[in-house]
Structure formats: C-alpha cells, structure tokens
Structure 1
Amino acid sequence: MTFRTRLVLSYLTLIALPLLVLSTLFYRTSLNVVTEQAQKNVYAVVKKNNDVIDTKLGMADQNSRSLFVDKDLYEIFNALHPSREEELVAADRQISAILSKYFSQNEDVYAVQLWTSYYSFGLSLSLPQGDPTQSRIYKEALRAGGKMVWYPTYDFTRMFNQPWLKDGSIDFRYLFSATRLLNFSHLEDSTLVKLKPGVERPVLTISYKSTVMDELFEQSIPAGSSYMVLDPNDVVVASSDGSQVTKKYAPAWIEAFRAKGSGTERIMLNGKHQIVCFARSEVTGWLSIVVTPQSALVSSLVPVIRTSTIVGALALTAVALFFAYFILGRITGPIKRLMSAMRSVGEGDFQTRVEVKRNDEFGLLSQRFNRMNDRIAMLVKENYEIKLKEKEAEIQALNMQMNPHFLYNTLNIMNWTAIEHGQKELSKMLVCLSNMLHYTSRKDWGAVRLAEELEWMRNYFYIMSVRFEGKFDVTYDIEPALYEEELPRLLFQPFAENAILHGFGGLEAGGRIGIRGWTEGGSRYFEIRDNGRGISKAGIDAILYEESASVGIKNTISRIKMAYGDDYGIRIESAPGEGTRVRIQLPRNTQY
C-alpha cells in the first residue's frame, strides 16, 4: 500500500468518525439551544405579564392609600347620621364622585365601594349583594386592620348568598377583590385629626372581573400552553381551564416553585416533558404559572435541524473526498523538500535554500522559509530592541484594560438606575457619562493633570451617588500646587469603587470618602479614605498579591511601578469596622 493510499485512508477515517460525532452533537446541541431559547422567551412573557398585573393592581393599592387622608371623605363620615336615609343617599352621591376621581381612570376596575353595616356607598353597578358585611371579604378586611387584602377569585352568588342568581348568566359571576379598612384622617393646623371614636370605619372594596388576567395571558402565551394564577393558599385566581377557578390546586411541585418565587423548570407532567415558567406578584403575592409542552415549542424546528445536520454532514464528506484524492497527492513532495532543508537549518546551516517551483501555499511556504534564513541574523539583533519595547507595550496594555472594565461597570450602574428610578436622574447622569466617555476614550493614554482626573471623579461619584441613593458623601483636601501636576489616568477610580461597592455594603447612609493630596520631600502623596466596614489583613494581602483579586487595583499598582519604579506604589491600611485608607506615593515633577 503506497504512502498516498495510506494517507487517503487515514484522512477519510479521521474525517468520518469526528463528522459522525459532531453531527450528533450538533443535532442535540441545536435542539437543546432552541428549546432553551424558547423557554427563556416564555419565561420573559410570564415575567412581563406579571409586571403588567402588578402595575395595574398597584395603581389600586396606591389610590386606596390616598383615601386615608381625603378630607372630603373624612368630613362626610364624621358628620353622617346612619339613621337618616336622606343623608345616606346624599352621601352616596358625594362618595361615588370622590371614588370616581381616584379609580375611574383604571378601566380594569369593575366596581369600587365603601361598605358599612348600615349602607354600601359608591355602588356604580347594580350588584345585588344583600348585606356585604356578612361576607368573608369584609371580615378579612377587618382582621387586616388597615392593610390591603387581596381576596382571590370567588363565586359572587356564593360569597353574597344570592342563590337565585346561580343559574343565571351574569358577567360579574367571578370576581376578585382588594379590600382595606379605612380610618380617615387629615391635617388641621398641623394637627392630625382622626374620625370620632364612635364613627364606624368603612371597608373599601375594589372588584375586578377574573377575565382581566385571562385576556392578558391568552394573548401572549404560545399555542398549546396553559396558564394558572394561584394565591398563597393555592386557590385558583385565573386559569385557562375555567372550571378550576375558585377551586384549590395544590400538586407537590407547586410548593417548590412558590419557595423559589420566580424561574423556569422542565418537569414531567402527565407523562410528557413540560416547561413550567412561573413568577410571583410583588403586589398580591399570587403565583403566575404557564405550562408549555416541550414538543409544542420545537416541533416545527426539529425537521429543519435534522435536515440541516444531514446535508451538512454529506457536504463535509464530499469535501473530505475531494481533498483526499486531489490535494493530498500534492503534499508529500514539498513536505520532503522542506524537511530536508529544515534538518540543515537545525544543524546550523542558515544559508540553506529551497527551490521554489510552485505558486500555491507550498511555494509561499518555501519562499517564507528562504526569507526566514535571511532574517535570522537581523532578528538576533532586533531581539534586544523588542525586549525594550515589551515594557512599553505592557504599560499600554495595562492602561487599556482599565477603559472597558470601567465602561462596563458604569453602563451597568446607569441601567439599574434607569430601572429603579424611572429616568428621574437620567438626563444629568447621561451628561456625566458623556464627559467620562470622552475622557477615557482619548487615543493618548499618557499622563493627565490632576484637575482633569478630579473632574472625571466628580462625574463618577455623581453617578454612583444616584445609584446608591445618597449613601455616601465625598470631600476633597488637595494642595493647590498639585492640580497642574501630571499623574496616571484613572488613578483613584479602583479604590473609590472598592470603597463604595464593598466598604459601604452594609450601610444605608452616612458613608464618607475623603480624597487628600499633599507633597512631602520629593514625593507626592494621595490618600483615599473611607469609613466603611474595613478589610481584614488577609483581604489586603489578597488584593495586593493574589492574581485573581481586584483587577483594577492590580493594574493601577502595575502602572505606577512600571512608570516610576519599585520605590513608588500604594499602601493599604485597614481593619474590620475601622474603615480603609489607601495611600499612593508618586515622585514630583516626573513625566509619566
């Protein structure tokens, strides 16, 4: 068997086996990736729906809090005589108008009422409730003592003892309600005035039709999926199976999801692989669950993945055959010539040359080999010069590491600020970030004046103070002569960031950062000091000496030593509970 034949057979064997394995892995991986992406999409829909529900129901919670200090309601109930029917009717009109002011803009609210033992006020829809004070909703509100109670979906005819409506077709058959006991008060000459002790406190009831949640889920979840909303007692608030509403649903797997709060899992239900996405409401505590058969998410994509895998495997096999029969035969000759020349070079003959007969890659390789020998002497000479330049390149590389690292942190902070604060401070933060990006994106990464560095730090501190809601203050004590002297860029940022993110981790307010600069002898000193929780001796050693700890601080130390020598650098003094002091020593009037 010739060398070419052995080479062809070996080539085909080496291609066929990995191709079979890779094709199988590609098919399984592609299927898994598609499934995971579909799972993430369904989870995103559930989270979004949950946020929409929280927004809608949260409006009712906020508006109900406003009723506590509504002066008009206070005056009506404080002066109302329950025995006078004409007063009750007049009060009903006034109260209906007041409730309409707070809740009429919320189109999801079905009815808003104030219940007392003697009258139901604000009844905008004719709900034949009888005596609502005998209902469980009313009693739950009394027990809560002023806290908002979200009562899950209930059968109206049973809750209010209306059996004559049981067989009728009414659109308010299934409702869920939010109730709260109202103890009105208002400020009068800087004094908080409450209702008279003998005045009965009304119960606010905000009712929603259960279809509010049905419409939201049915329009957003994938085909073939089912949904369910459960209260903390496993009562079904809403469901794609209408017969389950108001009933209890408590399989074993629900408890694990309720403890987790939100997420997505793959489980076996009814003998099928199911993807379950769930999220708990921050307003009501109800758990939204969407169950989607795994096959429903990927059924349309499986044939595409399978076909593409087979076609790809066949195409790669054809390419392998082409290379085996038409390319491998042209490899052995040039390889032999190159190996002979390489042996000569290995023995010290740098004048060896390979005759160039072809213009393909092997011809180019032969040309490069000849050129390599011509350059060996030159490379020996250049080697020393390259060593000198490596130090400068390392300094530039360390400098450039600071820029993307900090940009990432800054953009992450602004993202969370926008989410948490609803763009209130966004305009000013964008101005600060624009200045910071302009400063850090300069092509020249040499030295900067201290005045420029401190201006950048002020922008940085502003963004961080908004992110942490005024948790800390910053003071400066700099000798005037230092403002025009040059120093490495982003010298203070890693230590300030460490103080804010780690030093003030346990503080709600009262954090203090002090930046001080002075001269002493032939050196400049800068100190960053905080009153945070401090660092242990082991923590300081990890920052200074371990490779995996605090990339920003390690880079800053390296830049200082490479620019000014080993006599300069930083010193960290700290202890748990005593804050941290970082002192930086640089030479005076030295170009960076």
Structure 2
Amino acid sequence: MKRAYSFRFKLLISYVLLTSIPLLTLGTLFYQASLRVVTDQAQDNVYEIVRKNNQLMDTKLGILDQNSMALFTDKDLFDLFNELEPSDGPGLLAADRQVSDILRNYFSQIDDVYAYQLWTSYFTFGQQLPQGGPTRSDIYRTAKQAGGRLVWYPTYDFSKMFSQPDYADDNIDFRYLFSATRVLDFSYLSGSLLRRLDEGVERPVLAISLKYQALNGLFSGSLPEGSRYLVLDEQDRVAAADDPALIAREYDEAWIDELQRSGSGRTRMTLGGERVIVCFDRSRITGWLSVVITPEDSLIRDLAPVIGASTLLLAVVLAAAALALAYFISGKINKPVERLTAAMRSAGEGDFEARVSVDSRDELGQLLKHFNRMNDRIGYLVTEVYETKLKEQEAEIQALNRQMNPHFLYNTLNVMNWMALENDQRELSRMLVCLSNMLHYTSRREWGAVSLDEEIEWMNSYFYIMQARFENKFTVEYDLDPRLYEYDLPRLTFQPFVENAILHGFENMESGGKIRIAGKIDKDRRIYAITDNGRGMDKATVENVLNGEGVSVGIGNTIARIKMQYGDLASVEISSSQGVGTMITIVLPREIQS
C-alpha cells in the first residue's frame, strides 16, 4: 500500500529541494568563479614576473650596450689600431695588454660577463679562450653583417661554434655562452676635426660573452612550482631554459609562432594534454622572447582545498539556515491548514456550525476567514433551499388546482358557442371560438418561444374580437418575409404594441385606423415593424412606454422578456409623431430555425 505523507513533510521536502538545488548551483558557480579569479590573479602575477625579469635583464644588458658604444670614441684604442702593424709580433702582444686593460675598465665590473675580446683576422685581443679562429664563426659573420649595430647571439655550444671537437665531451666552464658583438669603427674628435681609422685598417669586432646561467638566474626561484621557461631568439633558438637539454637548440613548436608575432601577453592552451598558462614578453635590448609555461593546477593546488572547504562550509551554513527557516515557515502554513482540514471534515459531515480561529491577516488568514463566511453562507443556503422546496411543493399543488379553472372556462365557452349556433348567432359563435383559442394559447404551462404561425393565428383571433368591439374602426395589414416563418420568437411579441395602438392611438378616431405588421431579414437580424396612423405620442410618453411606466405595463414586460432572452443582440425602438402615428421596430437575431 502506498504510504501517505503529511502536508508538512511534503512542504519540508519541497523547501529542501528548492534550497539545495540553488545552493548546489551557486556553490559550484562560486567555487568555479573563485578558482577563475585566483587563476587570473596568478596568471597576472606570472606575467608580471616575466616582464620584471625582462626589464632586469634589459637593464643589465643595456649597460653593456652603452659601454660598448663608448668604445667608438676611445682615443687610446683609436691610436692603437690606427698605428698597429699586424705582422709585428711583439707589438701585438704589447697591444693585447693595453686592449685588455681598456676593456677591463669598461666591462670587468659588470656581473655575469664571462669574457670580453676584440677579434681581428690576425689576432684576438683581450681574454684568451680556445676559440681557434673566431673570425670563422657565425657570431663574427653576424656582427660584420650588422655594421656597427650591437648584435646579440643566443646561447651556443662553444665546441661547435668555434670548431673545437676536443672540448665536446669535457665539462668545461664555458661550454654554453651567449654573446653580444659589434664592429668598432673607432673615431674621435680632435678640435673641430672628426678623425676616423684609415681606410686600410681592419675594424675589430667587440665580442662580450656571458654564461647562459645569467639568464637562468632571472627565472630560477621566482616562478610558481612546476613552471617551465624558455628564452628564444627570433629564429626560435633557445638561449636559456629550465631543461639543459634544450640549450642551444631550435625549439620547433607551432604554437611558438603566434607568441613570436604577438611579442608580449598571456594566453591559455593545452600542451601535452595539460591545461597551462603561457606568459611571454620580448626583451627590448636583445629582441629575445621570454616564455613561462605554468600548469593551471600548480597555481591553484594550494588554494583549491581552501576555496573548496570555504564553499562547503558556506553551503552547510546556508542549508542549515534554510532548513530551519523552512521548518518554521512550514509550521506557520501547516497549522492553519490542519485546522481548516478539520473544519472542512466537520462541514462535510453536515456540521455547518464549525468555525476556524483566525490569528493572522495574511493569505492563509484570509482563506480561513472566507471559509468561515462560506460555512455561514452554506448554512443559510441549506435552510433557504429547504424552505424553497416546501414552497415549490405548495406552488405545485396550487398550480394543479388552477388547472381546473381553464378547463371549466373552455367547457363553459363551448356550451355558450353551441347555444349561439342554436340561436343562429354565428358572429357571437366566432367570437367565442376566437376567445377560446386565445385563452388556450395564453394558459399553456410552458411559456417559451413560439413559431410566427402561432403568433399570427393568435393575433388574428385578437383582431377579430377587437374589430367587433370597436365596430371596424381599424383595419390590419401584414407584410412578412416568408423566411421569417422558419424562426421562433417570444410569445405575445406584437400584442402589447397593437393593443396600445387600438386603445390609445385610435381613441379619438371613428374610422380609418390602420395597423400594419411587417417583417424582413437583414443579414443576421430579423426586423419587425408595427405601424399605425393613430394620434401618436410625445417624447416623454415614448420614454415612459419604453421604461414600462404609465398605463402600458405589457409593453415594458415584453421588452424585458426580449432582453432576457436575447440580451444585447435584440432591441426595441419607438418612433412616434403626434397627429401622424407610431412605428415600433423590434430587432431580433437570426437564431436556430424552428
């Protein structure tokens, strides 16, 4: 058997569902929004780290750029290279010591600089490294192609760059370097004259070498846990990376191309099936692109449990508050409903004296108040219906008694008719027959609509008697559309108007009175017109007749019956002029055919 749950239990369950679903939805949205905010903030922080690291690197490398620019106008270097003889061995050694001292003054105080040299095809000045012939390297060629512009060459393998296979497997200190190179075309201002190196003098190339760890140091320790980083030049060669295996190699990944085109920014993507945040920025000095790849999970790994716990705690608190409120509200609703149910049960058993106490003015209070009023009304109506039944029974008995009177009158009129025929009074006999028909027509118990045939037949009997009474003072004329005989109309529709014309309209006439009953169909309406050439009525009298006042009570009754049966679809209008006559227009809708 199916278990029946109480209204309060159902109400509580509905409240729980109505509160839990929004709470779960809002909690999920809050959790996701919080994670999104935290992730966005972390992303902005990482991007700022990348930008700050680039700015720091540009500051350091910018000093190298400025100092290298200062060498262009160094008079000692100008004099030395302008007068140096490439074939003079002792002179080259002496020049090397002098160049080393000059370069040391410019670059020795700059952190991360590993070596500073001047390369020529005949000698390498400055710090000595096992480079063999450095002028055969790509670094040298790149510098020469750039003219006097400082060129930054990304991290390279020393042994490969300078063709030194003996160092390929050695763990040397200068295995991976990156360099800044510039062709030095010395000149200086002597008085108002700018002096340049002679045409035949070879312009040396400044080569400043730095360990790639100088770039790594900018990122190590400053990035979130699990982050990876790359420093790439315009050709996607790796200048620095957290993975040593990538150093000095080309990073051939399609997604890097979009970053190279953008230059600076942050984006989210999926790499290797993992959602990551990529922050990147281009160095103003080197033109290299610093890229930091951070897994989204690592940004929120520590905060996600805190946010989840906070969200859960908030949801539990709100759920408990909602449940307590639901219990309170359900009680406020359930108690009046229980009282109302008990009262309705009593009323259903016939006790209409049952009442419910009302202690609130809200909707439930109004409902209880209306129930009490309804109970009062039902009790009153029960009593009234009982009394009405008694009265109906009494009226039925009286109606049965009254049915004897018409039969008595019919029999009496028949006796009078036979006596008139025996005395050869045929005019009186016809009047008695007409009167009997009229009495039979008006005394039928049902008082519904009748056909136009029946109405005209009754009117003919009425006219016969009235013409005999007034000695043919008036004549009657009919002009009815044959289609009208297919429709019913209220009983005695014409009689009150005709009677008014005979008794009042022809009151001062000895003869010549005319009554015309016409009818036609106009679209969805039936229009009947009753006209006479009597004395007519003034406007006040017409208003009284239409309102059922004065002597013509029958007209008011007929108008009321027509309105009750057809409503606003029907109308009765009276048009009258004194000394001319009166026209009554009755408009009825076309109804179902009889």
Alignment-mate amino acid for residue 318 of structure 1: A
Q: Structure 1-normalised TM-score?
A: 0.54
CA distance in 1, matches of 2:164, 2:9: 93
Instruction: Please name the residue that 1:398 is paired with.
Output: none
Distance 2:62 2:332 in 1: 76
- Residue type of the alignment partner of 2:280: F
CA offsets, 1:155-214, max 9 Å, x none? 111111211122222110111101000001111112211111111110000100111112
What SS class does the counterpart of residue 276 from structure 2 fall into?
strand
Alpha-carbon shift at residue 281 of structure 1 (Å): 0.8
1:96 aligned partner: 100
1:389-428 Cα deviation digits (max 9, x unpaired) = xxxxxxxxxxxxxxxxxxxxxxxxxxxxxxxxxxxxxxxx
In 2, Cα distance between equivalents of 1:263 and 1:82: 51
Structure 2 CA distance for aligned equivalents of residues 150 and 144 of structure 1? 11
CA shift for structure 1 position 49: 1.2
Scaled by the length of structure 2, the TM-score of the pair is 0.53
Question: Could you tell me how far 1:131 is from its partner in structure 2?
Answer: 1.3
For 1:274-423, what aligned pairs fall within 5 Å after superposition?
274-326=276-328, 336=362
Counterpart pick for 2:80 among 76, 83, 96: 76
* 1:3 Cα offset (Å): 11
Structure 2 partner of 1:122: 126
Specify the SS of the correspondent of 1:248: coil
Partner of 1:221 in structure 2? 223
Counterpart AA for 1:233: Q
- Measured in 2, the distance between the counterparts of 1:130 and 1:91 equals 19
SS of residue paired to 1:238: strand
Give the aligned partner of residue 157 of structure 1: 159
3-state SS of 2:28 partner? helix
State the secondary structure of the residue aligned to 1:128. coil
| Offset at residue 283 of structure 1 (A) | 0.8
Q: Quote the Cα distance in structure 2 between the aligned partners of 1:24 and 1:143.
A: 60
Q: Indicate yes or no: 2:43 matched with 1:34.
A: no
Partner residue in 2 for 1:236 = 238
Which residue identity lines up with residue 45 of structure 1 in the other structure?
A: I
Shift of 1:317: 1.1
1:271-319 CA distances to partner (integer Å, 9 max, x unpaired)? 1111111111111111111111211221222222222222211110111
Structure 2 CA distance for aligned equivalents of residues 55 and 129 of structure 1: 29
Matched to 1:204, the amino acid is L
Q: Which residues in structure 2 correspond to 1:565-584 (within 5 Å)?
A: none
Give the match's secondary structure for 2:235.
Answer: coil
How many Å apart are 1:228 and its aligned residue?
1.0
Separation in 2 of the partners of 1:25 and 1:181?
A: 61
The residue that corresponds to 1:270 in the other structure is: 272
C-alpha offsets along residues 486-505 of structure 1, whole Å, 9 cap, x if unaligned? xxxxxxxxxxxxxxxxxxxx
- Higher radius of gyration, 1 or 2: 2
Matches within 5 A, 1:512-551: none
Alpha-carbon distance in 2 for matches of 1:86, 1:12: 98
Q: How does 1:460-471 map to 2 (within 5 A)?
A: none
Which residue number in structure 2 is paired with residue 564 of structure 1?
none
| 2:214 corresponds to | 212
Deviation at 1:45, TM superposition (A): 1.3
CA distance in 2, matches of 1:139, 1:20: 67
Partner of 1:51: 55
Q: What SS does the corresponding residue of 2:255 show, helix, strand or coil?
A: helix
* Helix, strand or coil at the partner of 1:306: helix
For residues 497-546 of structure 1, the C-alpha deviation after alignment (integer angstroms, 9 at most, x for no partner) is xxxxxxxxxxxxxxxxxxxxxxxxxxxxxxxxxxxxxxxxxxxxxxxxxx
Which of 166, 175, 178 aligns to 1:176? It is 178
Q: What amino acid maps onto 1:83 in structure 2?
A: S
Matched residue SS, 1:153 = strand
The match for 1:188 among 187, 190, 196 is 190
Residue identity matched to 1:122: G
* SS of equivalent to 1:45: helix
The 1-side partners of 2:101 and 2:77 are apart by 11
Per-residue deviation, residues 345-369 of structure 1 (Å, max 9, x unmatched): xxxxxxxxxxxxxxxxxxxxxxxxx
Q: Which runs of 5+ in 2 are unaligned?
A: 337-358, 367-594
Percent identical across equivalent pairs? 55
Deviations 1:437-467 (A, max 9, x none): xxxxxxxxxxxxxxxxxxxxxxxxxxxxxxx
Aligned to 2:508: none
User: In the alignment, which residue of structure 2 is the partner of 1:522?
Assistant: none
Distance in 1, Cα, partners of 2:272 & 2:193: 63
Q: Alignment partner of 1:273: what SS?
A: strand
* Alpha-carbon distance in 2 for matches of 1:225, 1:175: 24
The letter for the 2-side match of 1:216 is: L
User: What's 2:258 paired with?
Assistant: 256
- Residue aligned with 1:154, SS: strand
Alignment correspondent of 1:63: 67
Q: 1:80 to 1:317 in 2, by over 3 A?
A: same
- AA aligned to 1:193 is R
Taking the aligned partners of 1:59 and 1:257, their CA distance within structure 2 comes to: 27
Q: Secondary structure at the match of 1:223?
A: coil
2:111 to 104, 107, 115: 107
The CA deviation at 1:248 is 0.8
Cα separation, 1, equivalents of 2:239 and 2:98: 33
Residue 13 of structure 1: CA displacement? 5.0
| Aligned counterpart, 1:15 | 19
Q: Which residue of 2 aligns with 1:482?
A: none
CA RMSD of aligned residues (A): 2.5
Aligned residues: 337
The 3-state SS of whatever aligns with 2:99 is helix
- The letter for the 2-side match of 1:159 is M
How far apart, CA to CA, are the structure 1 residues paired with 2:74 and 2:41? 50
Matched position secondary structure for 1:82: coil
Deviating more after overlay: 215-224 vs 59-68: 215-224
Cα deviations by residue, 1:87-107 (Å, 9 ceiling, x for unpaired): 212211221111111111111
Letter in 2 for 1:84: D
Q: Secondary structure at the match of 1:219?
A: coil
1:335–1:260 CA distance, 2 compared to 1 (3 A): farther
The CA distance in 1 between the partners of 2:361 and 2:126, in whole Å, is: 95
Question: Does 66-75 or 80-89 show the bigger shift?
Answer: 80-89
- 2: distance between equivalents of 1:54 and 1:19? 51
**1:241-286 CA distance string (max 9 Å, x none):** 1111111112110010111111111111111111111111111111
Paired amino acid for 2:71: L
Paired residue type of 2:233: D
- Determine the C-alpha separation between the residues in 2 that align with 1:330 and 1:75: 105
CA distance in 2, matches of 1:214, 1:193: 43
The answer for the alignment partner of 2:248 in structure 1 is: 246
- Give the secondary structure class of the aligned counterpart of 2:73: coil
> Could you tell me which amino acid in structure 2 is paired with residue 170 of structure 1?
I
Question: What residue number does 1:530 align with?
Answer: none
Query: Which residue does 1:134 correspond to in 2?
Result: 136
SS of aligned partner of 1:147: coil
Secondary structure, in 3 states, of the residue corresponding to 1:201?
coil
